[in-house]
Structure 1
Amino acid sequence: MSVESPLIPVYGKSTLADVVPSLAASLGVDGWADALALPRSDRWVILLVDGLGALNLAAAAEEAPFLMSLVAGDASTTVTSGAPSTTATSITCLGTGLAPGQHGIVGYAFRNPVEGGYLNALTWAPGLSALDVQPRLTAFERLVRQGVSITSVSPARFAGTGLTEAALRGARFQPVPDEEDHSARITWTADGASEGDKALVYLYERSLDHTGHGVGWRTPAWRAALRRIDALARDLRAALPDDVRLLVTGDHGMIDSPRDRWIVAEDVPGLTDDLTLLAGEGRFRQLYCEPRHADAVAARWSAALGERAWVVRREEAAASGWFGPVDRRMAERYGEVLVALRDDWAVMTRTQPKEFGLVGMHGSLTEFEMRVPVLVG
């Protein structure tokens, strides 16, 4: 993994936020940018494999013969996630067609823009409306208004959750009670793809990410999960009519961070001084403080971490394009100081003890975490 410079997304050309607009253009819907030059079709299925990084896939190519056969296709390519490279941000980029600085789901955990305090974007907060956090029309909502049938085939427990509503509202939700029932998922996906004159189906698969978080991606268990997903993609393609195109992508890649590469924030004298909130995740920390303390906090973290991290002020990250154009209403959701870890380092915090059970991680701006495949079949 390169540690020379962060991989900055090129929004509008080659990110997850460009996938659905390009699909809309392929569907022949007016007013959408075709950044990825996808082949023309009136029916598409997106298989989103959580944790499927392009470099992770290439390193385990023998486990995924079907996916690798798509890699060689003329329409396939590689894009990046948005920043940070984490599920909540990435899925919202995909479902809205917007860069993070526009949709405002700015990480795994960030400052609650309504009530203050800590907001976990995956578990959400009781009583918090998705519209209060992400008020922009999603790409799915816009496409439904333009006559496209949209279906989301996702775990039943995600129905009506904050992230689902923020990122994917507009789609008809098809609940999946048993995620291991691949046959049922394939049937529901094929049914959704046959609806209306134009159709788009989103199918979510999360086992690869869960396995990587638990035991690491360089393990037999992760490879076994990849084999199962390859079979799912192969069987899905076989079950879809010829006029339906399949697009397989990921929301981020993954690195394994060993415990001897963990820096526990509370164990470094002075490191948490002046902080009002420590959010983000191990590979991408967001540091909140009074603006008058931001320079001191940045200097303190930069001195402590050295070449193990990119430590930048929020304004510097925004000016460098990390988040795309930043809506002024969304800017203060980001920490005053941002810490993106290099190589396989991680910053842990005792305020989030569940993090100490992780092996595989993501969130930073390295190639392994940022690059994801777009495979067309």
Structure 2
Amino acid sequence: MTLPADLHRPEYGARTLVDVLPSVAAALGVPGPDPLGLAQVLGDARRVAVLLVDGLGADLVRAHAATAPVLAGLATPVGDLQAPCPSTTPVSLTSLGTGLPPGSHGVLGFVTDVPGADRPITHTQWTDDPDPVTWQARSTVFQRVAAADVPSTVVGPYAYATSGLTRAAYRGARYAPAVSPGDLAAGLTRSLAADRRALVYGYHAELDLTGHVRGVDSPSWRQQLAHVDLLVAQVLDALPPDAALVVTADHGMLDVPADTRLDVDATPTLTAGVRLLAGEPRARYVHAVPGAEADVLTAWRAELGDRAWVVSRDEAVASGVFGPVDDAVVARIGDVVALARGTWALVATRQEKVPSMLAAYHGSLTATELAVPLLVARGSAL
């Protein structure tokens, strides 16, 4: 299945977020593939910190180099990477943690259907239903690293210490809760110093939240980026001589003006025959009433036209955008998949009141949403 020219299929196994932790593990001497060649880039690093800044798209870093001079000054040894599909946080974090494409690990969207249960799961609010170990049954890179006797630590928000997403994406690592960006910086440096060989991963959330609420072309977003730059500087100042820092992100982001928002809830042709609307405004999964699948696909294609790439589940799977899709998780994808083009967003003002009010979004496969940085700094001994 051919994608429109403005949407791009992630190159899993070559230059994506999926490939970061396997390559870092290889650099630490853990047996396994090194798809990004980081063993050579990181030299003889005995300790590596990977900091993921939510929403720090590569295009945004380049456009704001003066606001973030520390980030702009880091090395880019392999160029931009790509987020997975959909380009959204739960999918990306699980892809990072497992080293697998979404079709393999099964966390396939911000909101997805729970097959057979007639209800959705919102992965950022997930606790223990469904059971994280069965919903995401694949092993993680952290487990593989632990099996090689390399300690690993995740430094992340206090509120997510026991969340379903944490257990799905990061199991095998010790979780060190952070209560603020300053605490995150201190936790990263403390964890790096605790062991002679270690993998430390940190997650920063506030830049993405600011972008969603205020827009990425806003003074608020630029001020928050400056805070991220300070955090990176603080980690670098305390970086052990034999350690390295890798900075990446889960997706880019773009502002969506009022005139490129289509309200699904106010469009009868888009609600007819629909059992469940899942996904998010730029990456929709549409689950049809049994028997209405073909009619719903026809209606969505006709209504959206060139505002989105609209395909059936089978067509989306065959396109390769999710990587190989396991039979056990394929039903989590909608009967109809709609990935927004341009700056369009498919909001749902009644079903998703607050998300429909946001200023900026991500989730689709435009170059800006997919491109994430891979920035590297090495300690003085390296």
TM-score (norm 1): 0.94
Asked whether 1:24 is paired with 2:31, we answer: no
Asked whether 1:147 is paired with 2:149, we answer: yes
CA contact (8 A) 2:128 2:164 kept: no
CA RMSD of aligned residues (A): 1.6
Query: Shift in Å at residue 119 of structure 1?
Result: 0.7
1:189 aligned residue:
188
1:355 aligned residue:
355
CA contact (8 A) 1:114 1:133 kept: no
CA distance in 2, matches of 1:187, 1:29: 26
CA contact (8 A) 1:148 1:197 kept: no
Asked whether 1:9 is paired with 2:13, we answer: no
Q: Give the letter for the 2:117 counterpart.
A: E
2:228 aligned residue:
229
Closer/same/farther in 2, CA of residues 212 and 3 from structure 1, 3 Å limit: farther
1:52 aligned residue:
56
Query: Which sits farther off after the overlay, 282-291 or 2-11?
Result: 2-11
Q: Give the letter for the 1:16 counterpart.
A: L
Deviations 1:259-307 (A, max 9, x none): 2211111211221111111000001110011564322212211111111
CA contact (8 A) 2:36 2:78 kept: no
Query: Shift in Å at residue 210 of structure 1?
Result: 0.6
Query: Which sits farther off after the overlay, 105-114 or 87-96?
Result: 105-114
Secondary structure (helix, strand or coil) at the match of 1:213 reads helix
How many pairs were matched up?
370
Closer/same/farther in 2, CA of residues 174 and 126 from structure 1, 3 Å limit: closer
Query: Shift in Å at residue 3 of structure 1?
Result: 7.0
1:311 aligned residue:
310
Secondary structure (helix, strand or coil) at the match of 1:194 reads helix
CA distance in 1, matches of 2:270, 2:110: 21
Secondary structure (helix, strand or coil) at the match of 1:278 reads strand
Q: Which runs of 5+ in 2 are unaligned?
A: 378-382
CA distance in 1, matches of 2:37, 2:294: 43
CA distance in 2, matches of 1:168, 1:297: 37
Aligned ranges for residues 103-122 of structure 1 at < 5 Å?
103-113=105-115, 115-122=117-124
Q: Give the letter for the 1:142 counterpart.
A: R
- Counterpart among 44, 47, 70 of residue 43 in structure 1: 47
Deviations 1:85-132 (A, max 9, x none): 000000000011111000000000001247331110110266432112
Q: Give the letter for the 2:297 counterpart.
A: A
1:207 aligned residue:
206
Deviations 1:176-206 (A, max 9, x none): 12x14x1x33332122123444211111111
CA distance in 1, matches of 2:268, 2:194: 60
CA distance in 2, matches of 1:251, 1:173: 19
Query: Which sits farther off after the overlay, 120-129 or 328-337?
Result: 120-129
- Counterpart among 87, 90, 95 of residue 89 in structure 2: 87
- Counterpart among 131, 141, 148 of residue 129 in structure 1: 131
Aligned ranges for residues 271-286 of structure 1 at < 5 Å?
271-286=270-285
Secondary structure (helix, strand or coil) at the match of 2:223 reads helix
CA contact (8 A) 1:52 1:250 kept: yes
Q: Give the letter for the 1:206 counterpart.
A: A
Closer/same/farther in 2, CA of residues 74 and 337 from structure 1, 3 Å limit: closer
2:327 aligned residue:
328
CA distance in 2, matches of 1:280, 1:239: 40
Deviations 1:314-354 (A, max 9, x none): 11111111000111101111001100001111111121111
CA distance in 2, matches of 1:270, 1:315: 22
CA distance in 1, matches of 2:73, 2:120: 43
Q: Which runs of 5+ in 1 are unaligned?
A: none
CA distance in 2, matches of 1:120, 1:76: 33
Secondary structure (helix, strand or coil) at the match of 1:351 reads coil
Percentage of pairs with the same residue: 41
TM-score (norm 2): 0.93
Closer/same/farther in 2, CA of residues 136 and 3 from structure 1, 3 Å limit: closer
CA contact (8 A) 1:312 1:339 kept: yes
Secondary structure (helix, strand or coil) at the match of 2:48 reads strand
CA contact (8 A) 2:87 2:365 kept: yes
Runs of 4+ with >4 A deviation: none
